A and B are shown apart, each in its own frame.
Chain A
C-alpha cells in the first residue's frame, strides 16, 4: 500500500510540486523564527546574576573635577550619607560600564598560553552586596586588595569553565589586562540583559573613592516607595553640588531591554501564526479539491475492496509523503546551519536542532490535522453514488 501511495505521489509530481514548495517554505520560515525564539528562550532561562528589583543607579560625573581629592571625599561622603538612610541597604560605586547601558569593554589574549576572551567591569568592594552577586568560588574584593601586589580579579563562572577549568587559581598570576590574581568566581553576570548571551566577565577592583567610578548602585529595602527618589535626589544634589546627575531604576531598564526582544519575537510569532494558518487553509483546500476531483476514484477503490479506513489512509498518506519529503529537504538545508557553525556564539547548535524538531513536528501535526477530516469524508463516500455521478 505504501509503495502504491509513493507511486501515485510520484506520478502526480507536477500537481504535488506546489504543495511540496508550500510545506518547504513554511518549514524554512518556521525553522528560522523558531531558532531565534529558542535562542531567546534559552538565554532568558539563565539567571541574570544580579539584583534589579529595588535597585537604582545614580549616574554621576566626576571626570571634570579640578580637585580630584575633594571629589573622592565627596564620593565617600555621599555613599555614607545615603547608607545612613534606613531605606538603603547597600551602596556601591561602579565603572562606566553599567548594566543595560549597552556599553562594553572587552579584551582577549593568549599571553598565558591559552586563550582568554572577556568583558571587563570595574567594581568596588561593596558591589557584591549592592548587586546581590552569588559567588561560587573564592571571595569578593575587600580592603586588603587596595595594596595587593597583583591586581585582584573576580571572574564569571563561564570564563572559569571556558579558560580556567582544571587550572590552579590559588596564588596563580594570569595576564588578563595586566597581571592579575583571580580571587573569586561569580555564578552569572548577564549585564546586557535577560536575552543577552552570557559573556565571559572579569571584574577588576577599584575603590569607591576613585573618580572614574561614576555610577552609584543603591540597593533599597523592599517596599521603598518611588517617592523616595526625591530624598535621594536631594541628598545627592546637596552633597555633590551637582544638578546634571540621573537616577536610573534598574528594573525599568531591564524591562525596557527585555521588551525590545519580546515585541519583535511576539510579532514574528504572530506573522508565523498567520503563515501557518494560510498553510493550513491551503492544505485543507487542496485536499478538498483533490477529493472532489477524485470522487470516482474513491468509489472505484471502495468497489474494488478498499475499506473506509484504507481510503482515508490513502489520502492522508499521499499528503503526508509530500510533506515529509518537503520537510526532509528543509531539514537537509537547515542542518547545514549548525554544521557550518553559522552565527556561532550567538546561536548554539542546540537552538537549531530544537527549532528543527519543533518546526517539523508542528508541520506534521498541522498536516495531520488538516487532512484528517477531508480524508475521513472521502472514506464515507458511497461508491454507488460517486460512480454514478461519473
Chain B
C-alpha cells in the first residue's frame, strides 16, 4: 500500500545541515497496522509526513496506493491525498470555530461532496466513534479523548484506504488512549484500513502488527 525507497530527508539552512531521514526503505502492505517508534527528533513524524505526501523527500521514491508520488504541491496530489489518506494528529487540529460535525465534514468539502451527503457521511463517522450525541458541540466543549475521536471521525469520513496517525494517544491519559487505540484497531480489523502510527508508547505499539524503530533518522529494526 505504501512503498518508500531509499528515502533521505535533509534540512538545510545557511549554517547547518541536518539529516532527518537517512536512506529509509519501507513497505507497508495493505491492511497492515504498523507502528513507528523512536526517541524525539529521530525522524518519525518526518517519515509519516512523507508517507502522507505533505513533505517531500530530498532523495528517494514514494509510492502510495500504487501511485508514484511526483509533484507534492500539485492539485492532483492534494486530491489524491484527500481520497486515499486520513490523518490523525497528537494535538487533534480541530477548528475551534466549527462544530464537531462541521469539522468532520471538512475533507468532504474538498472532495466536492454535496451538503446533504456530507452531513450523512459525517453523522455515520461520528456514530462509528461513539460521538453521535455531540455533533452540534464545539471542540472547546469536549474532553481530550472526545476531541481525538472527532479527529478520527474526520480521518475516516472519506473512507480512506490509509490512516496516518501521529502520536494519536500522546495527549491522552491511558484510559482514553486505550479507547482511541481500540477504535483504530477496530478500523483496521473490520474495514481493512491500513494504519501507520507514530507513537512513544511501547504498550500501544505492541498492539499493532509490526513495529519499526528509528534512531537518528535510520531504521534500526
Contact = CB atoms under 8 A, between A and B. Distances in A.
Interface of A: 1, 3-4, 7-8, 11-12, 296-297, 299-310, 382-384, 387-388, 390
A11 B96 CA distance: 10
B10 interface: no
B75 A307 contact: yes
20 contacts: A7-B102, A12-B97, A297-B93, A299-B54, A300-B95, A302-B78, A303-B81, A304-B81, A304-B154, A305-B78, A305-B79, A305-B81, A305-B110, A307-B78, A307-B110, A310-B110, A382-B55, A384-B49, A384-B55, A390-B93
B107 A8 contact: no
B210 interface: no
A382 to B, nearest CB: 8
B98 A383 contact: no
Contacts of A302: 54, 78
Contacts of A307: 75, 78-79, 110
Contacts of B79: 305, 307
A387 B79 CA distance: 19
B117 to A, nearest CB: 13
B93 A306 contact: no
Contacts of A4: 102, 109
A201 B111 CA distance: 70
B63 interface: no
B183 interface: no
Contact of B93 (A3, A12, A296, A384): A296
Interface string B110-127: 110001000000000000
Interface in B33-82: 45-46, 49, 52, 54-55, 73, 75, 78-79, 81-82
Contact of B111 (A3, A12, A305, A309): A305
A47 B87 CA distance: 71
Contacts of B97: 8, 11-12
A360 to B, nearest CB: 28
A310 B82 CA distance: 13
Contact of B52 (A8, A300, A303, A382): A303
A390 B115 CA distance: 30
B30 to A, nearest CB: 21
Q: Main SS of the interface on chain A?
A: helix
Nearest to B89: A387
A384 B54 contact: yes
Contacts of A310: 110
B106 interface: yes
A321 to B, nearest CB: 14
A303 B98 contact: no
A312 to B, nearest CB: 12
Nearest to A294: B95
Nearest to B111: A305
Given A4-B102, A309-B75, 8 more contacts: A1-B109, A3-B115, A7-B98, A8-B98, A305-B78, A305-B81, A305-B83, A383-B55
B23 interface: no
Contacts of A301: 106, 110
Contacts of B106: 300-301, 304
A12 B96 CA distance: 10
A176 B159 CA distance: 87
Looking at A8, A303, A308, A388, the one whose CB has the most chain B CB atoms below 10 A away is: A303
Contacts of A299: 54, 93
Nearest to B49: A384
Contacts of A384: 46, 49, 54-55
